[in-house]
Structure 1
Amino acid sequence: MTQPPPPPNQPPGPPPGQPPNQPQGGGFGLSKDQPPAQPSAPPTQPPAGGYGTPPTPPQGGAPYGYPQTPPPAEPGYGYPQTPPPGQPQQGYPQQGAPGRQPYGAPTQPMHLQSAAPAAGGSGKLLNKTQLQIVIAACVAIALIIGGGFWYSSAQDGGKSDQAQGSSDGNGGDKGGKGDSAKAAPDGPGKEKAPADTASQVAFQLPLPARLDVTGVPGSWVTDKAFVKTSVNSIVAHDVAKGSVLWTLPLPGQVCAASRHMTDDNKTAIVFEAKKRAKGDKGYPPCTEVGVVDLTAGKLLWSTSVTGDSTGDENARFDQVTLSGNTVAAGYLGGSAAFDLTSGAVRWKPTVDANECRDIGYGGGEALVAVRRCGSYDNPSVTIQPLDPEKGTPLSTFKMPEGVDDARIVSTNPLVVAADVGDSGMFGISDFFSIDAKTGKLLTKIAIPGDKYLARCSASDGVEGCQFVVVGNNRLYLPTEEHEGTGESYSRTNEIVAFDLATGKAVSGRADAGNGYHALPLRMDGGNVIAYKWPPYDKGGQVVSINGATFEETVLLENPSDKTVRDAETSFVETGSEYHFAGGRLFIADDTLSEPGSDSESSSKYMAISFGPKG
């Protein structure tokens, strides 16, 4: 399933210092800007790839478990790289790209064909050569069962001479479950497994009336409410029943929303100054910054601001965050900050003589600016932790040559994602672990784009990374899908970790299980909360993963009923907002398709929630 493109937040015309028709960078594999064509009918043969899709095995492969010679630079995942012999049967159930509906369910289980008998069979004694072959096969099987997890070595090529220690994302640590006696350094989590992990649909939010493709970014969970942006409004729903608690009308549509909220449930938004009208040639600009009380359902204040780069016009913003008592809104042409309590302007968008300006901020425990200098064709990018009251830099780290943008994954500890020299996939080639106090690089972790599922989207601003979390002084990432085990030809993945001090891969992994692929959502103390996208015949799961041992605890398991499963997977995996809190899962869309669209790219609901039975 593809995601429809989001509406532009600004009227036509490039921002200062940016040429017209600038291509959108990043993307989550399924581009919001140019959705691929959908198949008109189910294929007659099982398609390759896709989560849960049974791949077609190559012809002439060796028997399952026989020692394989891996192709050059192709690391194994601890599983056999060549599927068992035998072709999938015609009409075997498929599951396409994430969010796409399965074509059907199997009526009969599929069984593997028997491997050809080994040489020296029929009860005869094996000669020395044959015995060596058998021993080698047994060793290969033992390695597979042991679940070893290796990544191939890759060279940095000397591109970064700043790193005190670095890793290419292919660390040689052997996988495993680790020492179960260890506790995660950041402590125990709050989420506990219930007596019965089976869930039911708590509520579904219908799609609101809209004129065309509409962005609805932003959703939050408090102790009493699930709060979701809608068209020209923000609506709070009872966290258990979905009934409306309050509705906050807005002058126009929400363009951006902070993923953070204060301890007393306040958050920040950017929105248009007036409503869109049918037939408008352009959308109203996103000039208004405001703070919303998510408990009371009130807009506490809203304001706009001019700056050096905007002349007499109000500055436009396409992203917003908060840290402490500071709200910071960003844009390629310059950024601004406001007092969270009063709305007073802390600083305005500025562009200096070297064409330097803050293009956006990472928030949360600290406030960190991504600052860009120079022309569009020859930019340089720096990362600057800021004094949130004054906006003055506390330290500066200069990104390597070939970086024209950056994403803040975490502000404490400071972790930055970037695509160095446009060499990566999905907006990432490397993660940078930085000492925020000194501005010195601790380590660089190169991430091969074909081996990891984390994504960073340029259209989602400086905080636009998904499925990557930081905790326990580690970076937790999902691997890309690969072949599973057993007779189903299923796909699966793992969650692995890297040490932020050394950049080396940490021993151990959390397996998603056949047919599932795991997506880390957030930290819960020292535990990783992950959502498992389901296979064709089951519902999704939420698990808590011990950040030290990778031991998994199931917190929620959704129904396998096809109707429910179709609703759950109708959301585009990489264009949705995920929350798990208090034993409840919420999945919400951030972009609504054009009214009347019946394509597979359309979600059935604006949001869906799963909770405990009873």
Structure 2
Amino acid sequence: MTQPPQPPNEPPQGGFGAPQDTPPGGFGAPVPPPADPFGKQPATPPAGGFGAQQAQPPAGGFGAPQTPPAGPPQQQPGYGYPQQPGYGYPPGPPAGQGLPPGQPPQQGYGYGYPTAPMHPQYAPPQQGGQGGKKFTPQMQIIVAAVVAVAVIIGGGIFLASGGDDKKNEVSTAGPTGGDKGGEGNSGGDGAEKAPANVKSTVAFQLPQPKVDDVTTVDGSWLTDKAYVKTGVDEIVGYDKDKGTKLWSIPLQGQLCAASRHMSKDYKTAIVFEEGKPTKAKKYPPCNQVGGIDLNTGKLMWSKPVTAATSGDEPVRFDEVTLSGTTVAAGGTEGGAAFDLNTGAERWKPKADTDGCYDKGYGGGDALAVVRKCGTYDSPQLVIQALNPTTGAPLSSFKMPPGVDYASIVSTKPLVVAADVGDTAGDGSGISDFFSIDAATGKLLTKIAADGEKYAARCGSTEVETCQQLAVGNNRLYLPTEEHEGTGEYGDTNEIVAFDLTTGKLVGDKADAGDRYTLSPVRMDGGNVIAYKAPPYDKGGQIVSIDGETFKQTVLMENPADEAVREAESGFTADYSEILYKGGRLYLSSRTLSKANGSLDEKRYLAMAFRTD
């Protein structure tokens, strides 16, 4: 895994009240107001499990009605085109899959965690990265041959996913909240069914807009009529089958963060800059919180908020989530909450004598917070389940010493991921998963997440950015790292599951198949919707995996035509938003970067596939 970016060099500031936790939610998934946000889990002693577990994102898709999921990845240019690392991230290793002899591997992104680059006001200095996937002997030979040919020739020559659950679902980008699969289903009962013909066609492609700097375009959602995607200084609704523009919401500054969740009536929350860049202020602060109606294409309200310690200076936020009708925004200056429909303040950062502040929240079916206390050099993190309306803590769990940052994978059940003592060593931001009884704050089990075995990832400095995992059936579903398959050139992997009460591996496993790589996208009832990244000569697939038997059903198979393959390969599970619902698959970028000449002319903001 890649090396995560270093935390910003600024000490924590006082924040609102006692530690609170926001349940993680799915990007754009409908979030019903939780009456009893946290179902009590049986209090059993912690049990170590085989291998490591990683925080699992809520089932659901980035912007589609879903249960809370994963954090936001960076955009990657189209297949075969040079890529640029996100702001403040070092360059990454080659990431080609199943490459034939003589074909150079695709350039990958940096060793930072897979999420949109941090806004420049928070970004740490760029560092060189080391690590990444290990090359097999065959791949080393291939790469060496490609380099030699290039020299001879002339010395110069890329889920959190749409949801169809009754509750919120999460995208691969971000893990928070749970759907009905998290309440004890034993597999099956999913809404997604295989069509008569699983072969898909390209529905539409959205060209990448021109930008002069790294630009965050986090956020994509699905309504019953529209596919909604963040653009440059705007959020646009497109016809979900044709890609024609239905409406646009202009923003006074570029978007900084977007909720993975949305309400049942298709409303969600965003954070954006106070204005456009100028010579005097190249990077305007992210201090505007807003509520948007994805049905009508309207910005319902937007406002800044001040803290007791900041005078008249608006608080800066770097993430936002949604639970019921509560919008919760967090950052190093503390957290604040607003009514989704009116923008009325529910709570705001306050002076705190113990130096505590709300770092960030997880939303979806419940609300939870990562609360940071202590000093910058010796922090104490507390995970709290919160009353979404008042912000009052319902329970608290102290993270062990040596945890500088923590991520909320799911809020119902409450699952947290962290890199304890910086021991992960793979840039994933995960050394352990913590399954917590949200009603009592008692630890049910801790699951060690061996970076050599499992491939889920979480942002090191943001709370709701985990991806490539799913939570349901009281299980955490994780992909294994890629490894050699049975073929000569291709790698493969599997999806496995851990019990959230015992911490043990349970059930069978789902095999990706030779030269394919599986990544969980979201839960669908008791099933796991997963994306299968293809080899160089095939199209990707969407499969439904029975959460109990691990039997796979192919829901979609994309075209193998060269032009389509090249476009699809520009979007990967690590750095893209993946939404799937009802025979429609949407892949989109999370960040944009300045084009580098003609080789970058075929880069896309998003592309869509359909099976009928």
User: If the TM-score is normalised by the length of the shorter chain, which range does it land in?
Assistant: 0.7 to 0.9
Inter-CA distance 386–485: structure 2 relative to 1 (3 Å threshold): same
Rounded to whole Å, the distance in 2 between the matches of 1:473 and 1:52 is: 34
Q: CA shift at 1:28, angstroms?
A: 7.7
Instruction: Give the 5 Å matches for 1:434-445.
Output: 434-445=436-447
2:31 is the alignment partner of 1:32: no
What secondary structure, in the 3-state scheme, does the structure 2 residue paired with 1:507 have? strand
2:592 is the alignment partner of 1:608: no
- Name the counterpart of 2:514: 514
Q: What does the per-residue CA deviation read over 1:64-104, in whole Å, with 9 as the maximum and x for residues that have no partner? A: xxxxxxxxxxxxxxxxx9999x98799699xxxxxxxxxxx
Inter-CA distance 507–34: structure 2 relative to 1 (3 Å threshold): same
- Name the counterpart of 1:318: 318
- Name the counterpart of 2:226: 225
Rounded to whole Å, the distance in 2 between the matches of 1:204 and 1:28 is: 19
Inter-CA distance 557–454: structure 2 relative to 1 (3 Å threshold): same
Letter in 1 for 2:604: Y
Instruction: Give the 5 Å matches for 1:359-438.
Output: 359-424=359-424, 425=426, 426-438=428-440
TM-score, normalised to structure 2, is: 0.72
Rounded to whole Å, the distance in 1 between the matches of 2:295 and 2:248 is: 11
Contact residue 15 and residue 333 of structure 1 kept, 8 A? no
Deviates further, 427-436 or 603-612: 603-612
- Name the counterpart of 1:463: 464
Q: CA shift at 1:489, angstroms?
A: 3.1
Rounded to whole Å, the distance in 1 between the matches of 2:318 and 2:536 is: 37
Q: CA shift at 1:303, angstroms?
A: 1.2
Rounded to whole Å, the distance in 2 between the matches of 1:607 and 1:222 is: 16
What secondary structure, in the 3-state scheme, does the structure 2 residue paired with 1:402 have? coil
What secondary structure, in the 3-state scheme, does the structure 2 residue paired with 1:395 have? strand
What secondary structure, in the 3-state scheme, does the structure 1 residue paired with 2:393 have? coil
2:228 is the alignment partner of 1:206: no
Inter-CA distance 270–13: structure 2 relative to 1 (3 Å threshold): same
* Count of aligned residue pairs for this structure pair: 474
Q: CA shift at 1:581, angstroms?
A: 1.0
Letter in 2 for 1:393: P
Instruction: Give the 5 Å matches for 1:192-591.
Output: 192-277=193-278, 279-424=279-424, 425=426, 426-458=428-460, 461-486=462-487, 488-591=488-591
Q: What does the per-residue CA deviation read over 1:490-548, in whole Å, with 9 as the maximum and x for residues that have no partner? A: 21000000000100001200000111100001000110000011101101000000000
Letter in 1 for 2:97: Y
Q: What does the per-residue CA deviation read over 1:173-228, in whole Å, with 9 as the maximum and x for residues that have no partner? A: xxxxxxxxxx9526511111001101111100111233322111111011111100
If you compute each CA radius of gyration, which structure gives the higher value, 1 or 2?
A: 1
Contact residue 13 and residue 334 of structure 2 kept, 8 A? no
Inter-CA distance 307–203: structure 2 relative to 1 (3 Å threshold): same
Rounded to whole Å, the distance in 2 between the matches of 1:546 and 1:228 is: 30
Q: CA shift at 1:14, angstroms?
A: 3.9
Rounded to whole Å, the distance in 1 between the matches of 2:143 and 2:571 is: 29
- Name the counterpart of 1:174: none
Instruction: Give the 5 Å matches for 1:11-30.
Output: 14=10, 16-17=12-13
Contact residue 188 and residue 547 of structure 2 kept, 8 A? no
Rounded to whole Å, the distance in 1 between the matches of 2:439 and 2:480 is: 31
Letter in 1 for 2:398: K
2:67 is the alignment partner of 1:52: no
What secondary structure, in the 3-state scheme, does the structure 2 residue paired with 1:509 have? strand
Q: CA shift at 1:404, angstroms?
A: 1.2
Rounded to whole Å, the distance in 2 between the matches of 1:290 and 1:585 is: 27
Q: What does the per-residue CA deviation read over 1:408-434, in whole Å, with 9 as the maximum and x for residues that have no partner? A: 000000000000000013100000000
Deviates further, 496-505 or 341-350: 341-350
Contact residue 290 and residue 300 of structure 1 kept, 8 A? yes
Q: In percent, how many aligned pairs have the same letter?
A: 59
Contact residue 17 and residue 375 of structure 1 kept, 8 A? no
Contact residue 72 and residue 576 of structure 2 kept, 8 A? no
Inter-CA distance 38–364: structure 2 relative to 1 (3 Å threshold): closer
Letter in 2 for 1:52: G
Instruction: Give the 5 Å matches for 1:74-153.
Output: none
Looking at both structures, which has the greater relative contact order when contacts are Cα pairs under 8 Å and sequence separation is at least 6? 2
Deviates further, 205-214 or 387-396: 205-214
Inter-CA distance 87–352: structure 2 relative to 1 (3 Å threshold): closer
Structure 2 unmatched runs, 5+: 15-70, 75-83, 103-134, 148-183
Letter in 1 for 2:541: Q
Q: What does the per-residue CA deviation read over 1:272-294, in whole Å, with 9 as the maximum and x for residues that have no partner? A: 121224x4552111111111000
Inter-CA distance 596–90: structure 2 relative to 1 (3 Å threshold): closer
Rounded to whole Å, the distance in 2 between the matches of 1:236 and 1:330 is: 27
Contact residue 529 and residue 544 of structure 1 kept, 8 A? yes
Rounded to whole Å, the distance in 1 between the matches of 2:280 and 2:326 is: 35
Contact residue 236 and residue 245 of structure 1 kept, 8 A? yes
Rounded to whole Å, the distance in 2 between the matches of 1:545 and 1:240 is: 26
- Name the counterpart of 2:181: none
Contact residue 370 and residue 384 of structure 2 kept, 8 A? yes
Rounded to whole Å, the distance in 2 between the matches of 1:297 and 1:579 is: 20
Q: What does the per-residue CA deviation read over 1:526-579, in whole Å, with 9 as the maximum and x for residues that have no partner? A: 100000111011010000000000000000101111111111111354121111
Contact residue 16 and residue 309 of structure 1 kept, 8 A? no
Contact residue 212 and residue 595 of structure 1 kept, 8 A? no
Rounded to whole Å, the distance in 1 between the matches of 2:313 and 2:281 is: 19
Contact residue 480 and residue 496 of structure 2 kept, 8 A? yes
Rounded to whole Å, the distance in 2 between the matches of 1:252 and 1:82 is: 46
- Flag as ranges the 4+ runs of structure 1 deviating above 6 A: 26-31, 81-84, 86-93
Inter-CA distance 597–355: structure 2 relative to 1 (3 Å threshold): farther
Rounded to whole Å, the distance in 2 between the matches of 1:280 and 1:345 is: 31
What secondary structure, in the 3-state scheme, does the structure 2 residue paired with 1:566 have? helix
Inter-CA distance 419–31: structure 2 relative to 1 (3 Å threshold): farther
- Name the counterpart of 2:79: none
Q: CA shift at 1:230, angstroms?
A: 0.7
Rounded to whole Å, the distance in 2 between the matches of 1:533 and 1:593 is: 23
Letter in 2 for 1:296: T
Q: CA shift at 1:13, angstroms?
A: 8.6
Rounded to whole Å, the distance in 1 between the matches of 2:372 and 2:497 is: 30
Contact residue 325 and residue 341 of structure 1 kept, 8 A? yes
